[in-house]
Amino acid sequence: MTYPIFRFAARLAPALIAATLGLCALSVQAAGGGVALDRFPTEKLKDLPSLQNGAKTFVNYCLNCHGASLMRYNRLTDLGLTEAQIRDNLIPTDAKVGDTMKVSMSAKDAKEWFGAMPPDLSVTARSRSSHDGSGSDWLYTYLRGFYRDSSRATGWNNTVYPNVGMPHVLWELQGSRGASIEEVKAAADAKPGQHALAKTLITIDALTGQRTETVEAIKDGHAHEGSIVTLTPAVGGTLTQSQYDGQIADLVAFLTYVSDPSAQTRTRLGTGVLLFLSLFSVLAWWLNREYWKDIK
């Protein structure tokens, strides 16, 4: 008597494992901005105190303008907090523990003050992923890349997002930074059809944001259009640069968690499924061998 089901299972199980591993290897990436991104310290994602501090920073500094409307306050119990702690420390308004993390600012007021409603940050850590790095890398670099610029309405600019409309809301923690910018672009006096470039050297004061510019012609013909921004050390902040970097890492860890709260659970379940499939493959192969060993 034969049992075809075991032969089928023995052949199918390795294919299932290969398909599962293939799906795990897939990643979706959005278009990048071409900026060298600093690497976010991923160990923060497994550190509950860091995630809790990130949640506190988000509520205190970000939630006034940016919501996380796909996240409910009571889901923060995953971070080791009780509902009483969430209610007493992380809900800034009369919202309930079961409500989503929305801003109280109306769209009308936002448009009048900022020109548009500030974006919701629920999935920013995923949507900003690119070939340059993960969305977490983008956020980590962006929130550490502000510098003074008096030519902007907000008084601030950013290395990752040039001419961004958002001010540096964490400047009291980090302090003010200046910048040295080297821009290469078409010369103002270039004739039609002539590929003449000029180099503009811009120095921006860390305290006032005042710009000092000098322009020089490029004669060697090997330069390419673009810009390089070098930030000066921060001055006047309540935190040192390393302390500020740690604070931002905690905030980005929380935003990364918000973008996919079930990521850790899925990882554990996925590991269990792969182990089960591996064991099933061995058992199916062994049973197939036992049932067919006397048949020639």
| Size (the chain), residues | 296
Contacting residues for 219 by C-beta, under 8 A, at least 6 apart: none
- For the chain, the domains span 41-117+139-172+237-282, 178-232
Residue 19 has what pLDDT? 39
Helix axes of 4-25 and 263-292: crossing angle, nearest 10 degrees: 150
Q: Has this prediction a pTM greater than 0.85? A: no
Neighbour tally for 134: CB within 10 Å? 21
* Residue among 201, 200, 204 nearest 231 (CA): 204
d(CA 109, CA 63): 15
Task: Please list the rounded mean pLDDT of every run of 10 residues in the chain (296 residues).
Answer: 42 41 35 73 96 96 93 94 94 89 85 85 95 96 97 95 93 97 78 72 95 85 79 96 98 97 82 90 89 77
d(CA 139, CA 117): 19
Neighbour tally for 73: CB within 10 Å? 22
Residue 195 has what pLDDT? 64
Residue 264 has what pLDDT? 76
d(CA 158, CA 178): 11
Residue 26 has what pLDDT? 32
Write phi, then psi, for 184 (nearest 5 degrees). Answer: -120, 120
d(CA 84, CA 236): 36
d(CA 165, CA 65): 13
d(CA 45, CA 17): 27
Q: Which residue stretches of the chain are H helix? A: 4-25, 48-57, 83-89, 107-114, 124-127, 135-142, 171-174, 241-259, 263-292
Residue 222 has what pLDDT? 64
- Compute CA 64 distance to the chain's CA centroid, rounded to the nearest angstrom: 20
Domain 41-117+139-172+237-282 carries which CATH code? 1.10.760.10
d(CA 60, CA 50): 15
Structure tokens at 177: 């930074």
Neighbour tally for 245: CB within 10 Å? 17
| Local structure of residue 77 (DSSP, 8 states) | G
Structure tokens at 182: 């080297």
d(CA 145, CA 177): 9
